[in-house]
């Protein structure tokens, strides 16, 4: 298994109402090359779950194992490096560096990890997402769809064990969103990537092999 979640619980403290339990004993596993969608109403815990799997937050109870390594017991420096090497994240709002070109945004994770053959790897990825002619443009000079292509390329360039996508088409019009979804699923299939996608879009969720629905913090 690539990913194992065991009895994950997470609460947040509210000044007036006290502790609010957002996730309640969530458990599931994910194998190599599997694509899962996580759906649910707003406030059901989807974003919190993705944040925990990404190692950006810690659960109150339970274990999160990525390739057998428990993220919950790692010290911060090791967790940061492990996350940078193993997890690719695609955000709804793109989260690109505005002062860097498309090419520089894609190469950034490799530069941070001090990887080899960066130029060649970025060239290949630019071709895969169809941005060779726009590689030297800044995010402010690109369309929303082009920015998301950059974000997808940046997430995949590290060859992650796990790809996380948070509403990857939520900031795009329907036509552009369909194109981006097609590109993403095509790349995931060709590269045999394991992906968890949080989405409100039932058509998008339906393209995943499995749909998991969160209801009031529990998997339905």
Q: What is the pLDDT of residue 53?
A: 96
19-54-37-198 Cα dihedral, nearest 10 degrees: 60
Look up the CATH number of the domain holding residue 123. 3.40.50.300
Q: What is the pLDDT of residue 177?
A: 92
d(CA 5, CA 21): 17
Query: ∠ CA 24-167-209 to the nearest 5 degrees?
Result: 75
User: Token digits for 47?
Assistant: 């974003």
Q: What is the pLDDT of residue 42?
A: 85
User: Token digits for 208?
Assistant: 């995943």
Name the nearest CA neighbour of 79 among 64, 61, 90, 96: 64
Q: What is the pLDDT of residue 92?
A: 86
Residue 83 structural domain: 3-219
Q: What is the pLDDT of residue 196?
A: 97
d(CA 88, CA 195): 9
Strand partners, 211: 37
User: Token digits for 13?
Assistant: 């403290």
Residue pair 161/87 in contact by the 8 Å Cβ criterion: yes
Residue pair 2/175 in contact by the 8 Å Cβ criterion: no
Question: Reduced to 3 states, what is the DSSP secondary structure of residue 156?
Answer: helix
Reported in sequence order, the residue ranges of 2-60 that DSSP labels E, i.e. its strands, are 3-14, 18-30, 35-39
Q: Based on the structure, what is the number of domains in the chain?
A: 1
Taken as a whole, the chain contains a residue count of 220
Q: What is the pLDDT along the chain (220 residues), one digit of tens a residue?
A: 899 999 999 998 877 767 788 999 999 999 999 999 999 988 888 999 999 999 999 999 999 999 999 999 999 999 999 999 999 999 988 999 999 999 999 999 999 999 999 999 999 999 999 999 999 999 999 999 999 999 999 999 999 999 999 999 988 999 999 999 999 999 999 999 999 999 989 999 999 999 999 998 999 8
The whole-model pTM stands at 0.92
Name the nearest CA neighbour of 101 among 80, 117, 81, 122: 122
Q: What is the pLDDT of residue 56?
A: 92
Residue pair 122/107 in contact by the 8 Å Cβ criterion: yes
Strand partners, 21: 11
Q: Could you tell me which residues come within 8 angstroms of residue 184 by beta carbon, excluding any fewer than 6 positions away?
A: 90, 152, 165, 168
The H-or-E segment that residue 119 falls in is helix 118-128
């Amino acid at each position: 298994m690539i990913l194992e979640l065991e009895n994950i619980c997470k609460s947040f403290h509210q000044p007036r109402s006290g502790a609010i339990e957002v996730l309640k004993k969530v458990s599931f596993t994910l194998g190599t090359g599997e694509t899962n969608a996580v759906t649910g109403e707003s406030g059901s815990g989807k974003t919190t779950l993705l944040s925990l799997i990404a190692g950006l937050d810690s659960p109150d109870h339970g274990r999160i194992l990525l390739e057998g390594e428990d993220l919950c017991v790692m010290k911060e420096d090791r967790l940061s490096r492990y996350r940078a090497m193993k997890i690719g994240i695609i955000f709804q709002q793109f989260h690109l560096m505005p002062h860097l070109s498309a090419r520089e945004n894609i190469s950034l994770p490799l530069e941070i990890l001090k990887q080899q053959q960066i130029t060649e790897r970025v060239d290949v990825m630019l071709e895969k997402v169809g941005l060779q002619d726009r590689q030297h443009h800044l995010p402010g000079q690109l369309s929303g769809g082009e920015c998301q292509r950059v974000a997808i390329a940046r997430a995949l360039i590290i060859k992650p064990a796990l790809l996380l996508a948070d509403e990857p088409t939520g900031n795009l019009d329907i036509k552009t969103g369909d194109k981006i979804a097609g590109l993403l699923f095509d790349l995931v299939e060709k590269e045999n990537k394991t992906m968890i996608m949080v989405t409100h879009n039932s058509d998008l969720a339906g393209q995943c092999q499995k749909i998991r629905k969160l209801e009031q913090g529990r998997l339905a």
